Structure 1
Amino acid sequence: MTHTDLYYFLSRPRRFGKSLLVSTLQYYFEGRKDLFSALAMEKLETEWKKYPVFKLSFAGNKYITEEDLADTLNLKLGEWERQYGLTPSDKSAWGVRFELLIKAAYESTGLPPVVLVDEYDAPLLDSMETPELQLTLKNEMRKLFSPLKDLGGILRFVFLTGISKFSQLSIFSELNNLKAITMNDEYAAICGITREDVLTQMQPEIQALANKNGLTYDGACNALQKQYDGYHFSKNSPNVYNPFSLINALSDKELANYWFSTGTPTILTRLMRKYKVDPVPFETGFEASQDMFDAPTETAKNPIPMLYQSGYLTIKSTKAGNRYVLGFPNNEVRLGFLKALMPYYAIDDVVDNDSFLLRFVDALEEKDIEKALVQIRAFMSGIPYNAEHKDENHYKAPQTTH
């Protein structure tokens, strides 16, 4: 990747290792050979030049005003301006300041600079519900990135990553040669952990998990696969595990819902309610063309692009004619997604509904059908008689999977 095209874009769900990938690229371009000791890269790279690297992360902040973005950019640009002997400025001419920095770095080191942008879409996702603010932030970020195309002659590499795919016209209008590798087979496993890696590199950790939970080694492998595996990011993608959940599960020796417990974006929950999302097709799988899910988020007419790009849906299989079948990747996402929808299905207190599910599952595990029916009757009795304004989804209870 670092020796082919100049401009790259990759989107992946949250906590899938995008920031780790950006940091790896940073240290590689900074010539940190010591960090790649005993890895293939140590032998593949023979020069190990120390390029000037501009790494800009939009993660970690909340962008609810224009000033929030300005503060982030002033802080980072000011730091670089001092580093390269320029007078720090608090002006919002982001593109001019960034262009001067890139030229200063090139002149002072004699090497072409590298630009790495992590979570570029954080300001836009934070402002999804305030279109006027989002448009303002888009324009400000467009100013920042506008010099990158014209400076191509002195740039070594440009890499941008985020969760969602906003249209190039939104921010990167000048980067018409931006290579999107989000659905490229060659880079399908660039983030996350493949099933092959799990089975060949993590045997001791899997055995420890098995021992603690009274499972065989094969049983533990099967449980991990059902709970965290199942992601596919291209037509011929290998099976990819959610790295955040997998690593936590092996560390804690517990099969818990780690990824989903970190939170569902508020905007996603509201979109699901707005479009009255029915989870049944997600469970069974539904057909979609690529432009139905790998599409710009801000122009979407339904929540499918955001659900896919956020990691709640994935490619289950492919069909002729550039068609795909989308669905839940694994049990963790399935159960977490249904739990997130519970307030929409059941208007009553969420705690009461969670208690119902627990009691119902206990009855099924005890093989006590009458007890299970009692719980179902109690739940159904909560449905109001004046249901003329209720839609079909009100009567669909979330499914549990064991």
Structure 2
Amino acid sequence: MRNLPLGISDFSTIRNPSRNFIYIDKTAQIAEMVRMFPAVFIARPRRFGKSLLASTLRDLFGKGIEGFEGLDIAKTWTDTTYKVVSLDFSAFRDVGTLEDFLLAFDLHLQGRLRAAGIETSPDVSRFPLQRWETALLSLPNSSLVLLIDEYDAPLTECLHLPERFEQYRRVIASFFARTKSLSGALRFLCVTGVMKFKQNVLTPSFNALTDLSMMPQYGSLLGFTEDELRTNFSTWLERASDLCGMSHDQLISRMRREYGGFCFDQNASTDVFAPWSVLQFLACPQPDFQHYGLNPGGTTAIVRNFLKVRGLLDPAHYDEPFLEDLTVIASDDPILELQPTSVLVHTGYLTIKKATGDGAVMLGYPNEEVREAMGNLCSLHR
């Protein structure tokens, strides 16, 4: 019985034979993504595997196929290795003043540059943007892979604080602008987050980013499909069936109702289960199917802070699926001018239920866990 990778987002740890963790092989999609696009962005709710994706790319580009033996990508990968700078913006998401933010950013950047073998001054009083520009200028063409996880974390934490939000936004937008101006050094760029702050941060600064967030071919890149669940977790599912006193198919059906139903595909052709909730349930199955993913204490910051500024409709408003135009979901408007449905789709509180074929989609709650979480969330802000 292989171990559940509960709370593990490091690729090399999961793939360590001595740890005996289950690993869901998404590397065929990763290989296609890298081959097709030099710079990508993907938005997913929290706890959906964005950090594991960044870690997988870090090992792939930094070490080659070492550690990828037996996975799909090992059959086709022929690229060389590169210097890899892997940044995690959640490391300095709630630090206070602009000066504190710049210092925390610079310390993080300095450490990650050194980890990549790129020389940098130890003087932490320098601005991070100057340090970053100097580093890029020192590199040959196509020699660096840049991975940025949770790029929007500092912004979502201060969404309800306009002055601080604008200060952070300018720094992050400038970071991407300088990256774009020196992008010749990049072999590949991947940016992940919960929302795409298009007008505010990304699009003006780095319009070469390809947004994969709603592309059908990457709808299952993050999250577990039902086939992946049945194939990779079969022994755990058998154990849960016994403990919950139901058949295998009854168990899957109930898990789908409680933890599945997420669709990040504008054609509505692929559904996935929430990884965190599935792993939590399988670790300790209960006949009442407890909820884990979107409790009020762990609510995505963007929704929590959006509520403080804009508010939302009554949760019952979303009980029945409703039509929404795709342009509303993928709007370029500033964050506080977005429709609530756009924020709720990106954060996983609403999902695509059906595509109508005319540029509109049917939206609704993905599952009972989210329905309950939405009610709890809104009750805290009434």
Q: TM-score, normalization: structure 1?
A: 0.79
Residue 303 of structure 1 is aligned with which of 336, 340, 354? 340
Deviation at 1:129, TM superposition (A): 0.6
- Is the Cα–Cα contact under 8 Å of residues 228 and 330 in structure 1 kept in the other structure? yes
Corresponding residue number in structure 2 for 1:196: 227
**Larger-gyration structure (1/2):** 1
Q: CA deviation at 1:171?
A: 4.3
In 2, Cα distance between equivalents of 1:340 and 1:87: 45
Deviation at 1:46, TM superposition (A): 2.8
Alignment partners' CA distance in 1, 2:195 and 2:106? 25
**How big is the shift at 1:276?**
4.8
Question: In 2, distance between residues paired with 1:186 and 1:172?
Answer: 22
Which residue identity does 1:85 align to in structure 2?
E
Aligned equivalent of 2:364, options 321, 327, 348: 327
Amino acid at match of 2:217: E
Aligned partner of 2:323 in structure 1 is 287
Correspondence for 2:119 among 66, 85, 107: 85
Higher relative CO (Cα under 8 Å, sequence separation at least 6) belongs to: 2
Structure 1 residue 122 corresponds to structure 2 residue 157: no
In the alignment, residue 346 of structure 2 is paired with which amino acid? Q
What's the CA shift for 1:225?
A: 0.8
Separation of aligned partners in 2, 1:156 and 1:276? 42
Is residue 149 of structure 2 the alignment partner of residue 113 of structure 1?
A: no
Counterpart selection for 1:259 from 293, 298, 306: 293
CA-to-aligned-CA distance 1:205-253 (integer Å, 9 cap, x gap): 1111010111111111111111111011111431110011011111212
Query: How big is each residue's C-alpha offset from its partner over 1:285-338, in whole Å with a ceiling of 9 and x where there is no partner?
Result: 111101222235614344222211111000011113201111100011111211
Query: Corresponding residue for 1:65?
Result: 97
Partner Cα separation in structure 1 for residue 312 and residue 110 of structure 2: 46
Which ranges of structure 1 fall in alignment gaps of 5 or more residues?
Answer: 346-402
Deviation of residue 60 (structure 1)? 4.2
The answer on whether the counterparts of 1:207 and 1:220 sit within 8 Å (CA) in structure 2 is: no
In structure 1, the partner of 2:41 is: 9
Matched length: 341
Cα distance in 1 for partners of 2:200, 2:63 equals: 34
Secondary structure of the 1:244 match is: helix
Deviation at 1:88, TM superposition (A): 2.8
Question: What is the match of residue 391 of structure 1?
Answer: none
SS in 1 for 2:63: coil
Normalising by the residue count of structure 2, what TM-score does the alignment of the two structures yield? Answer: 0.83
1:50-76 residue CA offsets vs partner (Å, 9 max, x unmatched): 200011101244243323421322112
- 8 Å CA contact 2:350–2:363 kept in 1: the answer is yes
Report Cα offsets for 1:15-74 as digits up to 9, x if no partner: 000000010000000124232111111111134x22000111012442433234213221
Cα distance in 1 for partners of 2:170, 2:251 equals 50
Could you say which residue in structure 1 is the equivalent of 2:58? 26
Q: What CA distance in whole angstroms lies between the structure 1 residues aligned with 2:158 and 2:62?
A: 34
d(CA) in 2 for partners of 1:154, 1:85? 15
Are positions 1:209 and 2:240 aligned together?
Answer: yes
Instruction: Determine which of 204, 207, 210 is the counterpart of 1:179.
Output: 210
Task: Pick which of 112-121 and 33-42 moved more.
Answer: 33-42
Task: In structure 2, give the amino acid aligned to 1:44.
Answer: T
Answer yes or no: is the 8 Å Cα contact 1:289–1:323 preserved in 2: yes
CA distance in 1, matches of 2:169, 2:349: 26
Note the alpha carbon deviations across 1:174-215, whole angstroms, 9 max, x for none: 312211111111111111111121123222111110101111
Q: Give the alignment of 1:241-280 within 5 angstroms.
A: 241-254=273-286, 255-261=289-295, 263-265=298-300, 268-269=303-304, 271-272=306-307, 274-280=310-316
Partner of 2:4: none
Unmatched 5+ stretches in structure 2: 1-32
Q: Distance in 1 between matches of 2:175 and 2:301?
A: 28
1:102 is the counterpart of 2:145: no
Change (3 A) 1:154 1:170: closer
Moved segments of 4+, more than 6 Å: none
Structure 2: distance between partners of 1:245 and 1:237: 22
User: What CA distance in whole angstroms lies between the structure 2 residues aligned with 1:80 and 1:280?
Assistant: 46
CA distance in 1, matches of 2:205, 2:376: 42
Tell me the distance in 1 between the aligned counterparts of 2:356 and 2:280. Answer: 34
CA RMSD of aligned residues (A): 2.2
Higher mean displacement: 259-268 or 241-250: 259-268
Cα 1:227–1:161 change in 2 (3 A) is same
Task: State the distance in 1 between where 2:268 and 2:356 align.
Answer: 12
**Residue 253 of structure 2 corresponds to residue 219 of structure 1:** no
Write the mapping of 1:15-54 to structure 2, written as runs, cut at 5 A: 15-47=47-79, 49-54=80-85
Identity of aligned residues (%): 28
CA distance in 2, matches of 1:39, 1:169: 38
SS in structure 1 at match of 2:214:
coil
Quote the offset at 1:165 in angstroms.
Answer: 1.7
Residue type of the partner of 2:119?
G
SS of aligned partner of 2:198 = coil
